[in-house]
Amino acid sequence: MSPLNEEPESADAQAIDQRVERLVERAIARNIPGLRLPQTQSDLDVGPTPKELVFSTETACLYHYEPLQDEVYRLPVLIVMSPVARGYILDLARGQSLVEYLLMQGHDVYMLDWTAPRREQATLGLAEYVVDLVSGCIEAVAGDSGEDDVTLIGYCMGGMLSAMYAALNPRGPVKNLACFTTPINGDGMALYKKWMSSPSFDIDRLVEQLGIIPGDFINSSIQALRPLQRSANQMRLLNNVEDDAFVKAHLRFDRWAVDQLPIPGHLARDMVNDFIVGNKIIDGALALRGQTVDFAKITVPFLHVAALYDHIVPAAASRDLIGLVGSTDKQEIVMKGGHVSLVAGGNAVFRLWPQLDNWLATRGT
């Protein structure tokens, strides 16, 4: 090989070296902002809207949010959270808070948020949650607001509890009922149904031994429904790591997603036996303290909001709700989005919240 031919080859090699070096440097530079993540995680402010504790009993805590308008609608709005989820998903950050939005529109907002049960509360079941705890909070809202009537908004399992309460108290204080992504048909929870119907699955043994079902257990069960989603979210975070707003929003969602509440063993057993395996709501066979839960008895204005891409409560698990309810004034909104982005994502802020406000405003006087 002549020396004349060596020079270009060496120049090519050098160019490749430089190119690789630059790629590595750029990759490192892109990912270095990620080193800030652990610091920002602790700086995240969730649940920023001022609130006061109004009532608490067992695992239920009732909060009243400070009104932001001098004149509010007559009916107080009570948001019932899911017993496995923290309420701050609906008050994630300023400008990304359903609670703040409703207050700005002149609604008087209360929230029934749940706390982790103690060992002595392991025996709280579905009946106690609906008949004692939800009921107790509704009475407390009446006492605090001075209004006997109330509008209920239930999120996920909170929607199930709200609908059950409304069905058991058809002449009661509930004047409007809105359910967000509410599971009602156990057959629609296909994976859980398969697992829990297996003869080798023993819910009694699990409840007897653990007493309280840990939050991590619930978190793992939810993640099993879409096993790689969390990893994909981490990838998405890395791809947007230079965008501070994206990073903060992502971390808030992520913090909430893994922050599942433990639940009493008896509630877990009732959910498995009566809802998922027994599918008693659809069959009209569910009874709480001897009283049949018949959704046809719900005759108040009813709104059901579902998410098109919800993998936690898929359409098959929630779409029967609107048909079961006996109301003549009933409406269903199906939005693009998932289980969480339905209530706290960009689509929610610009599309769902205004529709919800409109629905509440016309029925809140």
CB closer to other proteins out of 62 and 286: 62
Distances (CA, A) of 195 to 126, 190, 225, 282: 21, 9, 12, 20
Among 108, 113, 97, 81, residue whose Cα is nearest residue 47 = 97
Cβ atoms of residues 175 and 147 within 8 Å = no
Say whether residue 312 binds other proteins (CB under 8 A). Answer: no
Q: Which stretch binds other proteins (CB under 8 A): 156-164, 236-244, 260-268, 293-301?
A: 236-244
Identify whether the C-beta of residue 118 lies closer than 8 Å to the C-beta of residue 262. Answer: no
CB contact burial 26-50 (16+ within 10 A = b; e otherwise): eeeeeeeeeeeeeeeeeeeebbbbe
Other beta carbons within 10 Å of 16: 10
Are residues 98 and 348 in contact, defined by beta-carbon separation less than 8 angstroms? Answer: yes
Is 20 an interacting residue with respect to other proteins (CB under 8 A)?
no
Structure letter (DSSP) for residue 146:
S
The whole-angstrom separation of Cα 247 and Cα 238 is 9
Distance CA 67, CA 201 (A): 48
> Is 243 one of the binding residues for other proteins (CB under 8 A)?
no
Spatial CA neighbour of 37 closest among 234, 231, 260, 230? 234
Closer CB to other proteins, 123 or 229, in the complex:
229
Nearer to other proteins, 129 or 295 (CB): 129
Tell me whether residue 105 or residue 279 sits nearer to other proteins (CB atom): 105
Query: Quick check: 22 binds other proteins (CB under 8 A)?
Result: yes
Judged by CB under 8 A, which of 41, 123, 219, 229 binds other proteins?
Answer: 229
For other proteins, the binding residue among 236, 242, 289, 336 (CB under 8 A) is: 236
Site for other proteins in 106-125 (CB under 8 A): 106, 108, 118-120
Asked if 161 and 129 touch (Cβ cutoff 8 Å), the reply is yes
Question: What are the structure tokens assigned to 55, written together?
Answer: 């009532």
Nearest residue (CB) to other proteins, 201 versus 244: 201
Identity at 34, one-letter amino acid code:
G
**Of residues 277-306, which lie at the interface with other proteins (CB under 8 A)?**
none
Question: Does residue 254 touch other proteins according to CB under 8 A?
Answer: no
The least distance separating other proteins from the CB of residue 282, rounded to whole angstroms, comes to 20
Q: How far is it, in rounded angstroms, from Cα 102 to Cα 111? A: 12
Asked if 35 interacts with other proteins (CB under 8 A), we say: no
Asked whether position 39 contacts other proteins by CB under 8 A, the answer is no
Contact stretch for other proteins (CB under 8 A) within 226-234, 249-257, 285-293, 343-351: 226-234
32 forms part of the interface with other proteins (CB under 8 A): no
User: Which 47-106 residues touch other proteins, going by CB under 8 A?
Assistant: 52-56, 61, 66-67, 69-74, 106
Work out the number of other CB atoms within 10 angstroms of the CB of residue 193: 19
- Binding-site size for other proteins (CB under 8 A) equals 58
Instruction: State the Cα–Cα distance between residues 246 and 37, nearest whole angstrom.
Output: 12
Q: Which of 94, 226, 289, 336 touches other proteins (CB under 8 A)?
A: 226
Q: Which stretch binds other proteins (CB under 8 A): 7-15, 18-26, 78-86, 268-276?
A: 18-26
CA 356 to chain CA centroid, Å, is 17
The yes or no reply on residue 198 touching other proteins (CB under 8 A) is yes
Give me the least distance between CB of 364 and other proteins, in Å please. Answer: 8
Binding site for other proteins (CB under 8 A): 22-23, 26-27, 30, 52-56, 61, 66-67, 69-74, 106, 108, 118-120, 144-145, 147, 190-191, 194-195, 197-202, 205-206, 209-210, 224-229, 231-232, 235-236, 238-239, 358, 361-362, 364-365
